[in-house]
Amino acid sequence: MPRLEPDVMQDRDRGVQAVETAYAKVNLALHVRGRRPDGYHALESLFAFAQDGDRLEGGLADDGSITLRVDGPFGAQVGDGEDNLVLKAATALRGHLGTRAGAALRLTKNLPVASGIGGGSADAAAALRLLVRLWDVRIEPAPLEKLALEIGSDVPACLASTTRLVRGRGELLADHDLPGLAGRPLLLVNPGVALSTGRVFAGWDGMDRGALAADTVGQLRADGRNDLEAAAIGQAPAIADVLSRLARCEGQVLARMSGSGATCFALFDAQADMRAAARTLRADHPLWWIMETRIRTA
């Protein structure tokens, strides 16, 4: 029998049978190409994922109920009601499977809410992954991605949480190997602002500035962009301060806003430079949320 590490043993003592990380999503570039007839925007984006994020635990519920308890630094901001995407994902999956299986779930919310790094979408994707294992069911990738898209546009990409080119409104996914990206030090910074995705998209100027090319980090820096930055800064000027500070950090190779904001990121060549930047930013801006992490390796 394999030896269980202390944290795994503790999980089992608490009735936890499955654990998933809801990895923070980063849009290394986000090009808005137009507005579709269905009301969604046509996007081209390169998604990458941090190795850290929210934590989701789950155990079987013999009575067939699905319950959720939320804690963590940002738990109070999301709550455990029906609007929580973890519960929506669990309900949708159970309905799709036609099962009466239940689950007792616990979400530790480490990522800020409405911050452009896919926290809710990543939570929903983590719930789908966890429950497929917990309920010991088989579902092919295509129907699972279709189910995920019904929950939210970013949820399909968050299922695998690997670097992908994402087009359409999130339904067109292609694995993308960007040399030198995996494992690269990553700094996430949020000025303490929550933004409405809908309002930011509504503020987009409607101009198509061209397709996304993402073959190298250098190309992303030179030719990539986030077409929502101007609209987000219009609602939260502090984003411009974050971007300015990140651009001046020694050793950074790419600094940009993620998603619809307000979280921004910087990629570094060296972990020492990333850590030095984090120390300086924490000292100068103690109210900013800052996470030191790396690009996830699959």
- pLDDT tens per residue across span 189-228: 999 999 999 999 999 999 999 999 999 999 999 999 999 9
User: Would residue 197 count as lying in a domain?
Assistant: yes
Does the annotation place 203 within a ligand binding site? no
Q: Answer yes or no: 154 catalytic.
A: yes
Res 7: pLDDT: 41
Q: What is the CATH number of the domain that holds 208?
A: 3.30.70.890
Does the annotation place 119 within a ligand binding site? yes
* 170 and 189, same domain (yes or no): no
Res 86: pLDDT: 98
User: Would residue 150 count as lying in a domain?
Assistant: yes
User: Would residue 22 count as lying in a domain?
Assistant: yes
**Final residue of a structural domain among 133, 153, 175:** 175
User: Would residue 1 count as lying in a domain?
Assistant: no
Q: What is the pairing mode between strands 66-71 and 103-108?
A: parallel
User: Would residue 24 count as lying in a domain?
Assistant: yes
User: Would residue 271 count as lying in a domain?
Assistant: yes
* 102 pLDDT more than 90: yes
Rounded mean pLDDT, 280-293: 98
Does the annotation place 116 within a ligand binding site? yes
* 84 pLDDT more than 90: yes
Residue 179: C-alpha distances to residues 164, 244, 251, 265 (Å): 13, 27, 18, 19
* 48 and 147, same domain (yes or no): yes
Does the annotation place 114 within a ligand binding site? yes
Q: Which of 118, 76, 122, 115 lies closest to 289, judged by CA?
A: 115
Does the annotation place 115 within a ligand binding site? yes
Tens digits of residue pLDDT in 26-72 = 999 999 999 999 989 999 999 999 999 999 999 999 999 999 999 99
Q: Answer yes or no: 109 catalytic.
A: no
* 144 and 225, same domain (yes or no): no
* 17 and 35, same domain (yes or no): yes
* 174 pLDDT more than 50: yes
Output the DSSP codes for 71-128.
Answer: ESTTGGGT-SSTTSHHHHHHHHHHHHHT----EEEEEE--SPSSSSS-HHHHHHHHHH
Res 55: pLDDT: 98
Does the annotation place 81 within a ligand binding site? no
Sequence-ordered strand ranges (E) for the chain: 18-35, 41-60, 66-71, 103-108, 164-168, 172-175, 185-190, 252-257, 264-268, 289-294
pTM of the model: 0.93
Res 294: pLDDT: 98
* 165 pLDDT more than 70: yes
Range of the domain at 221: 185-294
* 15 pLDDT more than 80: no
Which letter does DSSP use for residue 272 in this model?
A: H
* 152 pLDDT more than 70: yes
Q: Which of 251, 22, 294, 276 lies closest to 154, judged by CA?
A: 22
Res 80: pLDDT: 83
Q: Which of 230, 242, 235 lies closest to 195, judged by CA?
A: 235
Res 183: pLDDT: 97
* 134 and 216, same domain (yes or no): no
- In a 3-state reduction of DSSP, which class is residue 222? helix
User: Would residue 76 count as lying in a domain?
Assistant: yes
**In this structure, are residues 31 and 225 in contact, taking their beta carbons and an 8 Å threshold?**
yes
| Active-site residue identified among 25, 88, 227, 273 | 25
| Active-site residue identified among 52, 54, 154, 227 | 154
Number of domains in the chain: 2
Q: How confident is the model at residue 81 (pLDDT cuts 50, 70, 90)?
A: confident
Residue 232: C-alpha distances to residues 171, 225, 226, 254 (Å): 24, 14, 10, 19
Res 2: pLDDT: 29
* 149 and 168, same domain (yes or no): yes
Q: Cα separation of 136 and 196, whole Å?
A: 36
Q: What is the CATH number of the domain that holds 100?
A: 3.30.230.10
Q: Cα separation of 252 and 135, whole Å?
A: 43
* 8 pLDDT more than 70: no
* 153 and 200, same domain (yes or no): no
Q: Cα separation of 87 and 94, whole Å?
A: 11
Does the annotation place 6 within a ligand binding site? no
* 12 pLDDT more than 60: no
Does the annotation place 233 within a ligand binding site? no
Res 133: pLDDT: 97
**Final residue of a structural domain among 144, 175, 206:** 175
Q: Cα separation of 222 and 229, whole Å?
A: 16
Q: Among residues of the chain, what percentage have pLDDT more than 70? A: 95
Does the annotation place 192 within a ligand binding site? no
Helix H or strand E encompassing 242 = helix 238-247
* 95 and 161, same domain (yes or no): yes
What average pLDDT does the chain have? 93
* 76 and 201, same domain (yes or no): no
* 88 and 230, same domain (yes or no): no
* 16 pLDDT more than 90: no
* 161 and 190, same domain (yes or no): no
**Final residue of a structural domain among 137, 153, 175:** 175
* 13 pLDDT more than 90: no
User: Would residue 290 count as lying in a domain?
Assistant: yes
Q: Which of 22, 292, 55, 23 lies closest to 184, judged by CA?
A: 292
* 30 and 142, same domain (yes or no): yes
Q: How confident is the model at residue 6 (pLDDT cuts 50, 70, 90)?
A: very low
* Those residues with Cβ within 8 angstroms of residue 294's Cβ, 6 or more apart along the chain or in another chain: 50, 51, 183, 184, 185, 186, 271
